Amino acid sequence: MSETHSVHQFWGTPLNVFYCPHCQSAHVAPDKVPLTTCPACLQAAVSSQPESLRREPPELVIPFSVDNQQVSDSLTQWSKRLWFRPQDLRADLLLARVRPYYLTLWLVDTDVEATWQAEMGYDYQAASYRERYQGGTWRSEQTTETRIRWEPRVGRLKRHYDNLAVPALQEHDRWMTGLGGYDYRVRRPYTAQAIERSVVRIPDHDPDAAWPDAEYVIDRTTSTECKSASEADHIRNWSMRAKYYHLNWTQMLVPAYVTSYTEGDTTYPVWINGQSGKVYGIKHMSQHKAVVTSLVLGACAAFLFLVGMLLALIGAALVAPLVLGILSVAVGVLLGLLAPVPAIWVWLRNRRAGKP
């Protein structure tokens, strides 16, 4: 049996694997899901690269829980109230390009034996006095403030942890911050039907590369448990020496939708959390619309200035045309000064916004 057939058999469906030369991401898509442009960066055509695919399929999948109507409502809310909105940045056009997409997490199971030490902090109320000058005399007032009593603690720990979520992608933190995170408890066993219409992002980090992140997650989890067991309100100077046994790595897919809009020569991705409906993307203003607005304002300014000068010359001996001409010139000059503002403001805002 060939490697390709072996992979298809494990995943339960014929797959194509695509690689993006621009952002170096790799994706899986079932045969019936066409993919020509990288869905992560939208900046380059993808090429077939089957050797990037791991044989092992994901173990767990968080199902999509927002439907098309909820996605449409989220995109409508997100795309409105934008000055100089690009023509392509409309909810109906965004919805027409929506594609189901799965991000990947590693899940780690492990047994941990460790010794630890830390300082545990306990809140307590302390009375103090402050002097206040009132009515010509100094008065002492008693106040109560919260202080922390720090006590050293040491201990031993022996635990088994199941399904600790560890980043599998280089930009995991950006994704989770932008999309608002997920409830990992809502998960199901992987089936081929779960990805039949979706594109799946392949992990950037294999388990060896992801291990430092796993150690950090375990360290944070154990410190929280020890703080709770000590009935402390705070913890500091935490350190742990640990040994890990029976490590097991599996993959979990988390749902998102990806769509896009084009402004100028660039296409920008827009992401929707497939569990909560939160939208993540950069709303660029239309530089073309801003430039046109500046040109129109500049033309109006020039017209008012010329009309004002003409009225001032014609009405040199008459008060009314002279006053009207002076006002017209003043408005024209003011409008001329303001004319470049829309184009400059949009350019600066888009430059700061960057890309998601």
Interval 325-333 mean pLDDT: 83
Closest by CA to 29, choosing from 51, 10, 53, 45, is 53
**Same domain, residue pair 110 and 231:** yes
Q: Pick the more confident residue, 53 or 67.
A: 67
Output the six-digit token pair for 302.
Answer: 């020039």
Q: What is the largest CA-CA distance in the chain?
A: 102
Measured in whole angstroms, the distance separating CA 276 from the mean position of its chain's CA atoms is: 14
Number of structural domains, the chain?
Answer: 4
Give the residue-averaged pLDDT of 22-48.
Answer: 84
pLDDT of residue 239: 93
Consecutive H or E run containing 348: helix 341-353
Residues 73 and 218 in one domain: yes
Q: How many CB atoms lie within 10 A of CB 342?
A: 22
Domain range for 78 is 58-115+156-282
The most confident of 102-106, 172-176, 183-187, 263-267, by mean pLDDT: 102-106
Q: Assess whether pLDDT exceeds 80 at residue 9.
A: no
The CA-based dihedral angle spanning residues 151, 157, 160, 161, taken in that order and rounded to the nearest 10 degrees? 30
The rounded distance, in Å, linking the Cα atoms of 47 and 55 is: 19
Q: Are residues 269 and 187 located together in one domain of the fold?
A: yes
Enter the DSSP assignment of 45: B
Q: Check whether residue 65 and residue 45 sit in a common domain.
A: no
- Both 51 and 186 in one domain: the answer is no
- Same-domain status, 305 and 255: no
Phi, psi (deg, nearest 5) at residue 153: -140, 145
Q: What distance in Å separates the CA atoms of residue 236 and residue 218, rounded to the nearest whole number?
A: 17
Confidence of residue 314 (pLDDT cuts 50, 70, 90): confident
User: Could you write out the DSSP letters of every residue in 221-281?
Assistant: HHHHHHHHHTT-SEEEEEEEEEEEEEEEEEEEEEEEEEEEEEETTEEEEEEEETTT--EEE
pLDDT in tens, 233-269: 999 999 999 999 999 998 899 999 999 999 888 888 9
Across residues 79-102, what is the average pLDDT? 90
* Measured distance CA(284)–CA(259) in Å, rounded: 15
Residues 13-25, mean pLDDT to the nearest whole number? 85
Query: What is the C-alpha separation between 343 and 201, in angstroms, rounded?
Result: 38
Residues 129 and 214 occupy one common structural domain: no
Least confident of 38-52, 85-99, 193-207: 38-52
Q: Do residues 201 and 110 share a domain?
A: yes
Condensed to tens digits (0 to 9), the pLDDT of residues 271-295 reads: 999 999 999 998 899 999 999 999 9
* Amino acid occupying residue 195: I
Of 282, 303, 330, which residue constitutes the final position of a domain?
282
Q: Which residues of 123-136 are buried (b: 16+ CB within 10 A; e: fewer)?
A: eeeeeeeeeeeeee
- The answer to whether residues 195 and 275 belong to one domain is yes
Q: What interhelical angle do 341-353 and 287-314 show, nearest 10?
A: 160
Which amino acid makes up residue 70?
A: Q
Q: Check whether 4 has a pLDDT greater than 60.
A: no
Output the pLDDT for position 2: 47
The answer for residues whose C-beta is within 8 angstroms of residue 256's C-beta and 6 or more apart is: 101, 102, 103, 179, 271, 272, 273, 274
Domain check: are 234 and 257 in the same one?
yes
